[in-house]
Amino acid sequence: MTQQEQTPLTWNHWDEPEGEWMLPGECPVRTNRTLLLEMAARLLFPTVLVFSVYLLVVGHYAPGGGFAGGLVAGLAFVLRYIAGGGAEGAEIGTRLNLRPPLLVGLGLLLAVIAAFAPVAFGRPVLASAKYSADVPVLGHVDLVSSLVLDVGVYLLIIGVVLDLLRSLGSGIERDARESRP
């Protein structure tokens, strides 16, 4: 039993997934894994992301918005980080090939541009305009220009959460591993 616990358990066992399940990849030590949580994360991750986009879009007229949506999306990444065992948590964004600070910068840039954009139309800074349209399948849709600002905030928050996971999550784990004799 003790012997078995110490051997790294790789994905070559009965639970080997058909495709790649989690971005973090395999977990080196058996005790770091919970199949239940991994499964749950696998199911919840896309769901939560979709929900976060919903929050982002409805934000102008209903509870939600860029910040709330971004945090919810961030939570999805946190869940995946925890389920992934943390070993490779730093690489969480690598599939996208995006460094978290870049996401923060892009979000901030988008938000500032959205703040300045009304000036080009002769409106005051941060003013917003509403576009209504009847889309065949969706029905009546109200689009507000401040959605762009919200998208910026959304990206920024995700970037911040990913950066936190990198520096305070896997960064600390890496430090702990390196200092261990």
Partner 1 sequence: MITLNLGMTIVLAVLYSVGFYLLLQRSLMRILIGIVVLGHGANLLLQLVGGPPARAPVLGTAPPELFADPLPQALALTAIVITFAMTTYLLALGYRSWVLVGHDEVQDDVEDRRIAERERPEGSMSDDTADTGTDDDEDPGSAAASSEPAATGGRR
Partner 2 sequence: MTTLVTLPVLLPILGAALTVIGSRSARLQRLIGIAVLAVVSAVAAVLLVVADRSGPIVAELGGWPAPVGIVLVADRLSALLLLISTLVTLAVLVYAIDQRITDYGRDTASTTFHPIFLLLSTGVSLAYLTGDLFSLFVAFEIMLAASYVLITRRTNASRIRSGMTYVIISLTSSLLFLTTIALVYAATGTVNLADLSARVAVLPPGLQTLLACMTIVTFGIKAAMVPLHFWLPDSYPNAPAPVTALFAGLLTKVGIYALLRTQTLVFPQDRPSALLLVLAALTMLVGALGALAQNDLNRLLSFLLVSHIGFMLFGLAVFDAAGVAGTALYVVHHITVQATLFLVSGLITRRTGTVAIDQMGGLAQRAPFLAVLFAVPALTLAGIPPTSGFVAKLALLQAGAAAGLSTALVAGVVIVASLLTLYAMVRVWIRVFWGTEKEPLPDADPADELVVGTAATSRPMYAATAGLVAVSLAIAAAAGPLSSVAGRAGVDLTDRLPYVTAVLR
> What does 136-154 look like in DSSP terms, one character per residue?
TTTEEEEEETTHHHHHHHH
Q: Is residue 165 a contact residue for partner 2 (CB under 8 A)?
A: no
| CA-based end-to-end distance of the chain | 24
Token duo for residue 121: 């139309």
Q: Is residue 172 a contact residue for partner 1 (CB under 8 A)?
A: yes
Q: Is residue 167 a contact residue for partner 1 (CB under 8 A)?
A: yes
Residue 106 Cβ vs partner 2, minimum distance, rounded to whole Å = 6
Residue 173 Cβ vs partner 2, minimum distance, rounded to whole Å = 21
Residue 40 Cβ vs partner 2, minimum distance, rounded to whole Å = 34
Applying CB under 8 A, the site for partner 2 has a residue count of: 19
Which does residue 32 touch among partner 1, partner 2, none (CB within 5 to 8 A, set by kind)? none
> Rounded to the nearest 10 degrees, how much is the dihedral formed by the CA atoms of 40, 41, 44, 46?
-140
Residue 167 Cβ vs partner 1, minimum distance, rounded to whole Å = 7
Q: What is the Cα 88 distance to its own chain's centre?
A: 16
Q: What is the Cα 150 distance to its own chain's centre?
A: 15
In the chain, alpha helices (H): 2-6, 35-58, 66-83, 100-120, 147-164, 171-179
Question: In angstroms, rounded to a whole number, what is the distance separating the alpha carbons of residues 70 and 90?
Answer: 19
Partners of 143 in beta bridges: 131
Q: Is residue 119 a contact residue for partner 2 (CB under 8 A)?
A: yes
Complex with partner 2: residue 40 or 126, whichever CB lies closer: 126
Residues 47-66 that bind partner 1 (CB under 8 A): 61-63
Complex with partner 2: residue 25 or 105, whichever CB lies closer: 105
Instruction: Name the residues that contact partner 1, by CB under 8 A.
Output: 61-63, 67, 164, 167-168, 172, 175
Report the interface residues with partner 2, using CB under 8 A.
101-102, 104-109, 111-112, 115-116, 119, 123-128
